[in-house]
Amino acid sequence: MEKKAPINPILPLIVGMVAISFAPIFVKYSNAPVSVQGMYRMLFTFLLMLPFGRKQLPAARTVSARNWIFLTLAGFFLALHFILWMESLNYTSIASSTIILSLEPVLVMAGAYFIFKDKANRFAVIGMLVALVGAAGIGFGDIGLSREAFYGDVLSLLGTVAVAVNMLLAKKIMEQVPSYLYSLIVFGITFLFFGLYNVALGIPMTGYPAKEWIVFLLLAIVPTVFGHLVFNWLLQYVKAATVSMSVLAEPVGSSILGIFIFGEWISGSQLAFGGLVIVGLLVYLRSENMERRNQSPVSASQPHS
């Protein structure tokens, strides 16, 4: 049974859904390389979280060597997710990229079945198949627009696979490591991977105009702190499936913002197949709610967009 929230949960839920919708907007608005955007997003988020997690830092000494390997892998796949998904926005539309990204819980379910032998009920499988058909339809529809748009869809899908792997690792790690400490460590490791990537490719990490630094900071504050961390806080007070519904807010909110800010109108095929993805996710999330009635929720405290 959930605890009583200090405020009406509807307000932070709305704030979180609006906040995550701005992630692709900020990425697209920036002219900096996506690896630089991701690096500073992780750094600023880490620094914002650090004062509230200082008491947990000594517990890092008790983390086993095996879990440090898993934490490093989680950081690697989170960095890979950001590079692939953020880069996809340079090729395909915000609507296509974020709808494909919303497949994350479906891919996590599939991975949990093969890795952890978690059995899915019939409705979850039906929802997964419907959502995948919708995503495939978006990809094939974008081929008709341009090869570039299809390439962006592929990048978004690969980025979604990467964050699904990250989430599966999180599920395993957080059986032994507190979620806040997990987030601090993984954000720090992700920042280091971005730094190594930028150094290896000779991508400049300084010298950007003030506008870019504002965007880097906004990426950390808006979709991360006011988005994903708010959702993690809400897990104490509302059903996990309710928070999971937030995945539907990002493609809808981002697409609307994309129309007004960048003039990216949604095509008929995007609307039709995007609706199919959302229907599939609704079926999946309903089945998840049924499964969780007698289970305690497991949350992962890192952003996926």
pLDDT digits 0-9 by tens, 81-101: 999 999 999 998 888 888 888
Residue 184 has pLDDT above 80, yes or no: yes
Closest CA to 95 of 250, 301, 294: 250
Portion of the chain with pLDDT greater than 90, in percent? 37
Residue 217 has pLDDT above 80, yes or no: yes
Q: Which DSSP symbol is given to 92?
A: S
**Distance between start and end Cα atoms, the chain:** 30
How many other CB atoms are there within 10 angstroms of residue 240's CB atom? 20
Rounded to the nearest angstrom, the gap between the alpha carbon of residue 262 and the centroid of all alpha carbons in its chain is: 22
Residues 6+ apart with CB under 8 A from 122: 287
The least confident of 47-56, 111-120, 206-215 is 111-120
**Radius of gyration (C-alpha) of the chain in whole angstroms:** 19
Q: Report the sign of the C-alpha dihedral through residues 236, 222, 16, 127, in that order.
A: negative
Instruction: Tell me which of 59 and 161 has the higher pLDDT.
Output: 161
Position 42 confidence tier, pLDDT thresholds 50, 70, 90: very high
The DSSP string of 131-198 is: HHHHHHHHHHHHHHH-HHHHHHHHHHHHHHHHHHHHHHHHHHHTTTS-HHHHHHHHHHHHHHHHHHHH
Give the mean pLDDT of 274-298. 69
Helices (H) and strands (E) in the chain, counts: 14, 0
Residue 244 has pLDDT above 80, yes or no: no
Position 152 confidence tier, pLDDT thresholds 50, 70, 90: very high
pLDDT value of residue 211: 96
For the stretch 186-219, what's the b/e string if a residue is b when 16 or more beta carbons lie within 10 angstroms of its beta carbon?
bbbbbbbbbbebbeeeeeeeeebeeebeebbbbb
Mean pLDDT of the chain: 84
133, 285 Cβ separation under 8 angstroms? no
For residue range 43-78, what is the model confidence (pLDDT) as tens digits?
999 999 999 888 888 888 899 999 999 999 999 999
Scanning the structure block, which residue is given the tokens 């974008």? 142
For the stretch 256-271, what's the b/e string if a residue is b when 16 or more beta carbons lie within 10 angstroms of its beta carbon?
ebbeeeeebebbebbe
pLDDT value of residue 93: 87
pLDDT value of residue 297: 47
What is the Cα–Cα distance from 66 to 169, expressed in whole angstroms? 12
Instruction: Tell me which of 251 and 24 has the higher pLDDT.
Output: 24
Secondary structure of residue 201 in the 3-state scheme: coil
Give the mean pLDDT of 229-242. 71
For the stretch 98-125, what's the b/e string if a residue is b when 16 or more beta carbons lie within 10 angstroms of its beta carbon?
bbbbbbbbbbbbbbbeeeeeeebeebbb
What is the Cα–Cα distance from 156 to 279, expressed in whole angstroms? 20
The encoded tokens of residue 141 equal 């529809």
Give the mean pLDDT of 22-49. 95
